[in-house]
Amino acid sequence: MTKECAILVFSDRTVASTLWVEIVECKNKEALLKERSKKELVPITNTESTPISIRYGQKLDVRALGNICIANYYTRRNLFIKFSHNEERNRLRFDVEILEAEKRAILEFRLGNTPVHVCPFNAYRWLIPHESSHHEKERHGIYKNQVLYLKSLNVLAEQVPCDKVTALAIELNLSNNELKNLQEKGKKGYDLTLETLLLWRSKCNQQEIVMVNELASALNELSLNKLALAVLEASGANRPLKREEFNEMKSCD
């Protein structure tokens, strides 16, 4: 699989509630580009319970969930992709497994140590990196031990200010009650309770410090400076970061 990694792109190209995944085989880049130039990317919407074979370079509508058989154009193997989801509070959560037909190796799409969460009001992208991949700083792809740790390109939502807080809270994998608590406090301008701060701290590690800083920055933009300071203190920063420090950390992520 390491030499035959596929790229999966989740994007919002039509309406806010429609998410697409583009599946591309990268073993032969020249052949891939030539082949893709010939094909029209056609959405697949009728998966039901029967696996459907599609070509690489096509797009499929992930709202039609089920077991989807992806015919490997170059290796003649099959990749089985299983989608599952729950929909609540205007968000979609997709747990994706790739089952390689011969080895039956399970590759999980995860964000940090948690399953990928997709916010339908914003465009996200994840990928499995491959050889000579460029734009690595933008893509944040990591391939290790058959587990795909994926990170969203766009952390902040482009909608109303409250959605910025909501999106970031989802990135921190807060529970339903924790997220609701954050939303309500954010709307009303309240500070976080000590319990919530401790809970956040337990969920954050050094790799996620930039994510916490993003949250603090979003709260600052909402004029919730006290809340932003509390978030940074809870994450161990002990002081609010200057804007240039934040931008430097973000550029190095």
Residues near 183 by Cβ (< 8 Å), separated by ≥ 6?
162, 165, 166, 169
Quick one: pLDDT at residue 104?
Answer: 27
> Any idea which residue has 């039956």 for tokens?
104
List the structure tokens of 31: 């052949």
Quick one: pLDDT at residue 8?
Answer: 36
* Mean confidence (pLDDT) of the chain: 39
What are 79's strand-pairing partners? 70, 100
Strand 106-111 relative to strand 147-149, pairing? parallel
List the structure tokens of 21: 């995944």
Cα dihedral sign, 22-85-119-173: negative
Between residues 187 and 251, which one has the greater pLDDT? 187
- Domains of the chain: which residue ranges? 6-149, 161-252
Closest alpha carbon to 128 in 110, 115, 114: 110
Question: Stretch 127-149: mean pLDDT, rounded?
Answer: 29
Q: Is 215 left (phi over 0), alpha (psi -120 to 50) or beta?
A: alpha
Question: Stretch 152-164: mean pLDDT, rounded?
Answer: 29
Residue 203 has pLDDT above 50, yes or no: yes
Residue 224 has pLDDT above 60, yes or no: no
| Per-residue model confidence as pLDDT tens digits over 86-113 | 344 333 333 333 333 333 222 223 323 3
| Per-residue model confidence as pLDDT tens digits over 19-64 | 333 443 333 444 444 444 444 333 333 333 333 333 333 444 443 3
Local confidence band at 118 (pLDDT 50, 70, 90 cut-offs): very low
Strand 20-25 relative to strand 6-11, pairing? antiparallel
Residues near 114 by Cβ (< 8 Å), separated by ≥ 6?
173
202-207, long-range: CB within 8 Å, 24+ apart, which pairs?
Answer: 203/172, 203/173, 203/174, 204/172, 204/235, 207/112
